[in-house]
C-alpha cells in the first residue's frame, strides 16, 4: 500500500491589507517530512509505503499573493505526479486559506489532486475547525476530519485519525462519502471555545455520532469569521456509508449548534481595553491576562496596532507587560542602540494605518535577542521598558501563546500584575497561570465586532450579521446544503 501525503496550510483574512507572500511560508519537502514532529504518528503505519510530497505552512495573515499560491500548488501537483502509482492521498490542510483572486484555494488544490490521481483513489483531508468548507472540497474526498477542541489540543490526533481512516478505507475496500450541511452562523472562535458551555456540550456529541451505524467520522466546523466569502459559515460534516444516517446526523449536529448560538459567549468578562484595565486594578491576584483581541495574530491580525500600548502608557500602568508589537524598523533601531540603551522610536501603526498611526515612544532596551530560529516565528526581538510598562517588540508578526515564547527574553509572566497579549482566547499554558482572564473588545482587522467589518460576499442571512430570521436543518429527503 502506497500513500502520498502533504499539504498547504494558512489562515487568511480578507480584512488584513497585507498580502501573505511565499517568503512567509516554511516549506518542507520530500524526505524532510517524515522526521517532522507534525507527522510522528506515521510511525504507527510501518506496513505502509509512505510517500512524502510537500508541506507548506505560514502563520495567519492577509490573502496569499495569487502568484505565490500558484507556485506552491504547482510544485505540490508536480510532486504528486512524480510519486507515481499510489493507493491513497492524505492532504494536511487548514480550511481557512484565501488567495487573492482565488477564494477557495483548498478546493482548487483538492480538485487538481483528484484530476491527477483519478476518480478511484481515496483522498483524506484534515482541517482546523476554524475553517470554511466548500462543495468542491467535500465532493472530491472520501475522508474528512477536523479538530474538536478550541484552544486546539487535538491537532496531532486529528491528523492521525484522517490517516488511520484512509488506511482502513484502502485495506477494507470501503467506499465512504462525505456529507456537508451548512449552518447560517458565522462566529469568531472566541465565542465557540470548547472548554466552556455551550460548545463544550455541543462538541461532546461528536464521539457519539461516530458510533452511529453507517457513520465513520463526524466534524463540526465553526468556520473562519474574518473571510468575506460565500463559503464562510459553520458546517456539520459526516463521513459514512449510509446516506440517510449521515444526513440525519448532520442535521442533529447542525440543530444543536443553531440552538446554542444565542448562548455562545467568551467565557470570560469582556469590555473595552480601558474597562479591562480597571477590572485588573480591582483584582487581588496576578497576573491578570487581557486579550487585545482586535489585533490577534493567530486570527490573521496585522500585529502592529498600538492603541492598547498607548493606553497602558497614558494611564501610567505599572508592572505591566505587552506582548507584542511587530515592527522590523523599530527592531533595527533597537539593535543599533544596544541592550541597556535608551532609544526613541515610532512604534507600530505601519500595516493598517486606518487603525492608528505609529506611536512615538522613548524607552530603555532591557533585553535584545537575535532571531532564535525555528520553531519560533518572532525574528529578532527585544524588551523595551517605558515607565512601568514592558513591551515586547518583534521583527516578524507572531503571537505569544505559550511560555516558551516568553522564555526567549527570560520573561516570567507571573511576576507582572497585568499581561496584555495580542490574542483572543488564552491558549492552555497562559490560561493555567492566569489569575484572571479578560477579553478586550478592541478594534482591528480581526475585531470580534463583526458588524464593523463590512461583509459584501458572505451568504445572507447569516447570524449574527442578521438576527431576525428562522432556520432549521432540512427534513429527511430535502436538499441539505446552505
pLDDT digits (tens, 9 = 90+) for 74-132: 999 999 999 999 999 999 999 999 999 999 999 999 999 999 999 999 999 999 999 99
Distance (Å, rounded) from C-alpha 437 to C-alpha 347?
26
Q: Facing residues of 362 across strands? A: 344
* Per-residue pLDDT at 100: 95
For residue 478, is pLDDT > 70?
A: no
Per-residue pLDDT at 479 exceeds 60: no
Q: Does residue 123 sit in the same domain as residue 252?
A: yes
What pLDDT is attached to residue 375? Answer: 87
Residues 211 and 127 in one domain: yes
Q: Which domain holds residue 298?
A: 269-450
Residue 468 lies in a domain: no
Residue 126 falls in which region: left (phi positive, over 0), alpha (psi -120 to 50) or beta: beta
46 and 97 part of one domain: yes
Decide if pLDDT at 480 tops 70: no
pLDDT at 318: 97
Confirm whether 6 is domain-assigned: yes
Question: What mean pLDDT is reported for the chain?
Answer: 96
Q: What are the backbone angles phi and psi of residue 256, rounded to the nearest 5°? A: -65, -40
End position of a domain, from candidates 263, 296, 324:
263
Domain boundary among 263, 287, 315: 263
DSSP per residue, 257-273: HHHHGGG---SSEEE-H
For 470-479, what is the mean pLDDT? 79
* Cis? peptide before 458, omega within 30° of 0: no
Tell me the Cα Rg of the chain. 23
- Residues paired with residue 8 on neighbouring β-strands, in sequence order: 56
Beta bridge partners of 391: 322, 384
The answer on 433 and 400 residing in a single domain is yes
| Structural domain includes residue 140 | yes
Q: Say whether pLDDT at 218 is over 90.
A: yes
Residues 16 and 80 both lie in one domain? yes
Same-domain check for residues 292 and 183: no
The predicted-structure confidence for 279-313, as pLDDT tens digits, reads as follows 999 999 999 999 999 999 999 999 999 999 999 99
What are the cell numbers at 166?
A: 484512509
Of the candidates 324, 346, 334, 295, the one whose C-alpha atom is nearest the C-alpha of residue 393 is 324
Average pLDDT over residues 159-181: 97
- Cα of first residue to Cα of last residue in the chain, in angstroms, is 38
Task: Tell me the pLDDT tens digit for each residue of 36-49.
Answer: 779 999 999 999 99
All residues at 6 or more sequence positions from 280 whose CB lies less than 8 Å from its CB, including other chains = 288, 290, 417, 418, 436, 438
My answer on whether 215 and 303 are in the same domain is no
Residues 297 and 228 in one domain: no
Asked whether residue 150 falls in the same domain as residue 245, the answer is yes
Q: Once rounded to an integer, what is the mean pLDDT over residues 405-434?
A: 97
Distance CA 342, CA 350 (A): 22
The pLDDT value given to residue 347 = 98
The whole-model pTM stands at 0.94
Q: Would you list the DSSP string of 168-195?
A: HHHHTT---EEEEEEESB---GGG--TT
Residue 478 lies in a domain: no
- Distance between CA 422 and CA 394 in Å, rounded? 13
Q: What is the mean pLDDT of residues 453-471?
A: 96
Give tens-digit pLDDT for 228-277. 999 999 999 999 999 999 999 999 999 999 999 999 999 999 999 999 99
Q: 257 with 288, same domain?
A: no
Whether residue 471 lies inside any domain: the answer is no
Is there a domain that residue 477 lies in?
no
| Res 201 pLDDT > 80 | yes
**Residue 481: predicted pLDDT:** 62
- Residue 452 gets which letter from DSSP? G
Contacts of 59 (CB under 8 A, 6+ apart): 10, 24, 297, 298, 377, 397, 398, 399
Predicted confidence at residue 272, as pLDDT, reads 98
pLDDT of amino acid 374? 84
Give residue 36's pLDDT: 77
Q: Is residue 60 part of a domain?
A: yes
Burial category of 459 from C-beta neighbours within 10 Å (exposed 0-12, middle 13-18, buried 19 and up): middle
Total domain count, the chain? 2
Torsion sign, CA atoms 66, 72, 76, 81:
positive
Determine, yes or no, domain membership for 355.
yes
Task: Tell me the sheet residues that pair with 292.
Answer: 440
Residue 35 is predicted with a pLDDT of 74
Of 224, 244, 263, the residue at which a domain comes to its end is 263
Q: Quick one: angle between helices 66-82 and 105-117, nearest 10? A: 20
Element (H, E) at 29: strand 26-29
Residue for grid cell 515586547: 392
Task: Specify whether 157 is located in the same domain as 224.
Answer: yes
Residues 228, 322: one domain?
no
Residue 23, Cα to own-chain centre: how many angstroms? 19
Q: What share of the chain is helix, strand, coil (3-state, %, to 5)?
A: 30, 25, 45
Amino acid at each position: 500500500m502506497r500513500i502520498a501525503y502533504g499539504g498547504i496550510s494558512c489562515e487568511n483574512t480578507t480584512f488584513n491589507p497585507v498580502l501573505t507572500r511565499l517568503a512567509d511560508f516554511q516549506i518542507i519537502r520530500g524526505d524532510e517530512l517524515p522526521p517532522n514532529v507534525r507527522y510522528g504518528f506515521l510511525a504507527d503505519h510501518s506496513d505502509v509505503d509512505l510517500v512524502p510530497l510537500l508541506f507548506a505552512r505560514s502563520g495567519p495573515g492577509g490573502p496569499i499573493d495569487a502568484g505565490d499560491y500558484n507556485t506552491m500548488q504547482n510544485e505540490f501537483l508536480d510532486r504528486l505526479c512524480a510519486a507515481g502509482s499510489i493507493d491513497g492521498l492524505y492532504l494536511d490542510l487548514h480550511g481557512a486559506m484565501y488567495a487573492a483572486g482565488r477564494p477557495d484555494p483548498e478546493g482548487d488544490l483538492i480538485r487538481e489532486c483528484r484530476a491527477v490521481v483519478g476518480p478511484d483513489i481515496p483522498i483524506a483531508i484534515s482541517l482546523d475547525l476554524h475553517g470554511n468548507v466548500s462543495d468542491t472540497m467535500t465532493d472530491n474526498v472520501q475522508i474528512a476530519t477536523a479538530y474538536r477542541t478550541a484552544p486546539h489540543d487535538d491537532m496531532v490526533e486529528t491528523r492521525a485519525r484522517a490517516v488511520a481512516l484512509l488506511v482502513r478505507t484502502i485495506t477494507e475496500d470501503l467506499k465512504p462519502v462525505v456529507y456537508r450541511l451548512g449552518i447560517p452562523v458565522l462566529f469568531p472562535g472566541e465565542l465557540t471555545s470548547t472548554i466552556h458551555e455551550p460548545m463544550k456540550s455541543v462538541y461532546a456529541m461528536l464521539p457519539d455520532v461516530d458510533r452511529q451505524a453507517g457513520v465513520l467520522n463526524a466534524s463540526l466546523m465553526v468556520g473562519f469569521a474574518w473571510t468575506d466569502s460565500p463559503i464562510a459559515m459553520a458546517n456539520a460534516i459526516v463521513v459514512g456509508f449510509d446516506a440517510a444516517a449521515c444526513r440525519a446526523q448532520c442535521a442533529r449536529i447542525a440543530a444543536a449548534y443553531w440552538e446554542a448560538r444565542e448562548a455562545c459567549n467568551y467565557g470570560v468578562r469582556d469590555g473595552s481595553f480601558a474597562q479591562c484595565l480597571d477590572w485588573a486594578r480591582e483584582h487581588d491576584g496576578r497576573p491578570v491576562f487581557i486579550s487585545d483581541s482586535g489585533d490577534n495574530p493567530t486570527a490573521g491580525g496585522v500585529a502592529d496596532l498600538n492603541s492598547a500600548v498607548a493606553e497602558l502608557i497614558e494611564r501610567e500602568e505599572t508592572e505591566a507587560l505587552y506582548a507584542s508589537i511587530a515592527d522590523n524598523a523599530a527592531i533595527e533601531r533597537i539593535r543599533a542602540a544596544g541592550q541597556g540603551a535608551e532609544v526613541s522610536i515610532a512604534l507600530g501603526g505601519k500595516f493598517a494605518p486606518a487603525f492608528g498611526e505609529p506611536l512615538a515612544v522613548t524607552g530603555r532596551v532591557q533585553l535584545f535577542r537575535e532571531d532564535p530560529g525555528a520553531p519560533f516565528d518572532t525574528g529578532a526581538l527585544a524588551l523595551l521598558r517605558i515607565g512601568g510598562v514592558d513591551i515586547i517588540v518583534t521583527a516578524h508578526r507572531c503571537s505569544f501563546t505559550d511560555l516558551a515564547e516568553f522564555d526567549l527574553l527570560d520573561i516570567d509572566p507571573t511576576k507582572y500584575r497585568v499581561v496584555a497579549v495580542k490574542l483572543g482566547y488564552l491558549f492552555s499554558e497562559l490560561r493555567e497561570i492566569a489569575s484572571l482572564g479578560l477579553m478586550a473588545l478592541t478594534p482591528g482587522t480581526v475585531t470580534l465586532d463583526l458588524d464593523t467589518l463590512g461583509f459584501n460576499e458572505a451568504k445572507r442571512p447569516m447570524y449574527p450579521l442578521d438576527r431576525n430570521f428562522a432556520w432549521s436543518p432540512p427534513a429527511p429527503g430535502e436538499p441539505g446544503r446552505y
